[in-house]
Amino acid sequence: MGPRTGPGPAAPPAGLLEVFRRLDTGPRGLTEAQAAERLTRFGENTVPDTRDLSWPRLFVRSVRDPFTAVLLCLGLVSAAVFAWGTASVILLLVVVSCVLRASGEHRAARSTAGLRRLVATTVTVQRRVYEDAAPVTREIPVEELVLGDVVRLGPGDLIPADVRLLRSTGLTVHQAALTGESTPVDKSAVEAPGDDGVFQDPRLCFQGGSVASGSATAVVTATGGDTRFAAAHRRTGKPPATTFERSVQGVSWILIRFALLTPPLVLMANAALRGRGLETLPFAVAVAVGLTPEMLPVLVTTCLARGAALLARTHGVIVRRLPALHDIGAMDVLCVDKTGTLTQDRPVVHRALDTEGHDDPEVLRWAAAAAWWSLQLADLPAPDALDEALLAAADEDALTSYDGITARPFDPARRLATVIVRTPGRLGTHTQITKGAVEAVLQRCALPDDERSRLRGLADAQAADGLRVLAVAATERPAGDRPQERGLTFRGLVTLRDDLAPTAAEALAGLAARGVNVKVLTGDHPGTAVRACRDLGVPVAGVLSADRLDTLTDPELTELARRTTVFARCTPEHKTRIARALQAGGHTVGFLGDGVNDLPALRTADVGIAPRDAAGVTRENADLVLAGKDLTAIGHAVAAGRHAGGNIATYLRITLSSNLGNVIAMLSAGLLLPFLPMLPAQVLVQNLCFDAAQLAFAHDRPAPSAVRRPSVLDPRALLRFIVGFGALNAVADLATFGALAFALRGPGDDEALFHSGWFTENLLTQAVVMVLLSFGRGGRGGRGGKGGRRPGPVTWSAAGLAGIGLLLPASPLGSALGLSPLPGVYYGLLAAVLALYAVGLTAARTRHERVSSATVAQS
């Protein structure tokens, strides 16, 4: 007998006995054999849409890409007018693009899945080795959970499947992913259900939720695609596009519109000026194909996948969502907590001061002796954090020079700890040492009111500087007296600060150098956070406390958040609101969090970051998972994101400007010449060669300047670049037209020679553009041995492209394409054109870099 199939989202709540009977299980859980059989029969506990797609499915999905769809439409148009050569080359472009994209996405998916397994979420399950054995609890991957399993849940755990509670203690659950409720919902195994719907049934918990507090034992009632979370996931579809995806889509649709408009424009212009008819349609289609960067999806996937794999291999950073790598490269604001990120979760002694505020090591000796003998005589299991800091700061002689007699340990009501020790060299006299809160110690000291006020002011000044303050008092007592906490002599103060994270200062400096502003969102006192920032060398532009934040409207907070460094006394709701305000101000926001209370802000930010030891639900919702809560790793992730983003932007700049220049020149020449400047097949082969060469950008290494600022893909700035450099490229192409006219003594004498000359020139100018406009070190050479320079992947690729342009016209394949060998005089003229073009391109690039630098400096 096995569980009845179909216990999915539509199954109504039932009594426990009915649930056990339906699932063929019991409160002791399944046997290992039963669990293995059910895993085979029902499959893994994963949402169907999150499973990795096979290579054939990825190939089919690639065909649905907008660029590929445009190419297919253009190919069909060519076939409709029997331009079989044009249609065949377009089909080859489509197949090559889809194969490369599907292969890249398949490799990326396998790599990402492997990385996800490194931080895989587990669940505590109760199973038996055989039928009559006692149940044993153990951790298993969530994917191996099956119907009828009995699981145990605790704070921070994800709800691994739809479950029915068996026992619970103080259980509250976040289920915002299903219901939108922002506050945790009370759940209970014994409470009767109401009439408010299945999600309000207190006995049921659902996959996609998480435990906010309490604990429970539950039986699994639905897994995988049968859960209510899977049903909701199918209804809601894909998550909203990220900033990067929206930018790429915006650029893509602009290009698609141009590509679709090009054929009718070419047809109309040729019909009006040259009296040509449909015979120019294959040429118009080829020109439209030349405008389309069909390798963009391939290059984007390759760049991001390589960056993610490198991060995981070298720095232990797991990228759970590939576009997030570009987003962290575009990040210009990082929100962090103080404790555990900037500081370690322990205090250290800062100074020991006498009653005048001067350094006095004797005060530290008394405080450390009080901490040591409180620990020894009161039989405490371990020192608290403050006592541990005192013991670590004092030398060993300070502890061994006294002999403890008796102790009264710290009491939250008294806010004091007192010990009596033998005074070295003084028989019959003991020393009583009292330490604790400043106000509590001052009240027990024999002091005039004005002196007490002065000492209180001294302590307040230290506290205002972000320090914790302990007061120390002592007095002589006759041997045998019990501790009496009155009539004491005030000895001084011990100040403590948070211990700084060892790598925080260097990491913060690195982030600042890369244009990332760090905002501290903490629940601590503002002075403590400001002190930590100052110790780490972080300039504090402004401080905003929660009480002030609550009085601000959203527009006011947006303006104030931009110039505020420390946000103190923050609740989870405050953190979420601050992240939204920063986004409203035009910033790309990253958020580093590790607790369940950080989840709302983590989801709101453009990039959610969590350490590997974060709460399970927080880690599962993060875009990046760090090996530890270390800002240095974030700096490496930012660099990797900017490398990938820089390569993608370089590809777009070079490809689109070259394509636009070629299209403008080709359309102009087509209207001036009595024949087509290039045959459709020649245009398409040239485009295929250029596409293949540009895949080298995925392996380029951007220049250091590209890593120093956020890699934001701005469609308007990209369009300005394309138009400016595209026009320069068109001028070079039209200059070649003049060189051809001179070399061939009239362009109408030999169409094949004209086609060959323009084919060669186009590939050579594109090779020059690849080298001179590549903003990376790979394009212009990397470091070789002994300080020399060695070519990078872009240089080698450009050289190969130039070689094809020079050799193909004279080859048998060139003859098949309608090309022919060129006269020697043409090569001399072409060299002059290319030299002038390189000079102009270099000057334009220098001006562009100067303007870009000035814009960045102003912003």
Catalytic residues: 337
Distance CA 473, CA 447 (A): 12
807's CB contacts (< 8 A; 6+ apart) are none
Q: Which residues of 522-547 are buried (b: 16+ CB within 10 A; e: fewer)?
A: bbbbbbbbbbbbebbebebeebbeee
Distance CA 426, CA 402 (A): 12
343 beta partners: 339, 500
| Sign of torsion over alpha carbons 38, 43, 44, 46 | negative
Q: Which residues of 55-86 are buried (b: 16+ CB within 10 A; e: fewer)?
A: eeebbeebbebbbbebbbbbbebbeeeebebb
Contact assessment for residue 22 and residue 4, using Cβ atoms and an 8 Å cutoff = yes
3-class DSSP assignment, residue 481: coil
Find the angle CA(668)-CA(670)-CA(674) to the nearest 5 degrees: 130
Q: Starting from the edge strand earliest in sequence, which strands make up the sheet with 333-336, in order?
A: 318-319, 624-626, 607-611, 589-592, 333-336, 517-521, 566-568, 543-545
382's CB contacts (< 8 A; 6+ apart) are 375
| Closest of 693, 698, 708, 686 to residue 650, by C-alpha | 698
| Closest of 394, 332, 429 to residue 856, by C-alpha | 332
Distance CA 312, CA 119 (A): 12
DSSP secondary structure of 7-64: -STTPPP--HHHHHHHHT--TT--BHHHHHHHHHHH--SS-GGGSPPPHHHHHHHHHT
Distance CA 360, CA 425 (A): 22
DSSP secondary structure of 394-409: S-HHHHHSSEEEEEEE
Contact assessment for residue 687 and residue 826, using Cβ atoms and an 8 Å cutoff = no
Residues 90-96: contacts with CB under 8 Å, at least 24 apart: 90/285, 90/289, 90/684, 92/688, 93/289, 93/294, 93/684, 93/687, 93/688, 93/691, 94/63, 94/68, 94/294, 96/688, 96/691
Using alpha carbons only, how large is the chain's radius of gyration in Å? 36
783 beta partners: 789
Distance from chain centroid for Cα 317: 10
Distance CA 294, CA 63 (A): 11
Task: Outline where DSSP puts E strands in 763-826.
Answer: 782-783, 789-790
804's CB contacts (< 8 A; 6+ apart) are 689, 763
Distance CA 607, CA 157 (A): 22
**Longest Cα separation, the chain:** 124
Contact assessment for residue 208 and residue 177, using Cβ atoms and an 8 Å cutoff = yes
Contact assessment for residue 321 and residue 600, using Cβ atoms and an 8 Å cutoff = no
Distance CA 94, CA 691 (A): 12
| Closest of 714, 576, 605, 549 to residue 334, by C-alpha | 605
Measured between its terminal Cα atoms, the distance across the chain in Å is 70
3-class DSSP assignment, residue 575: helix
| Closest of 400, 464, 473 to residue 440, by C-alpha | 473
Size (the chain), residues: 859
Residue 279 burial (CB < 10 Å; 0-12/13-18/19+)?
Answer: exposed
β-strands 403-411, 468-478 pairing = unpaired
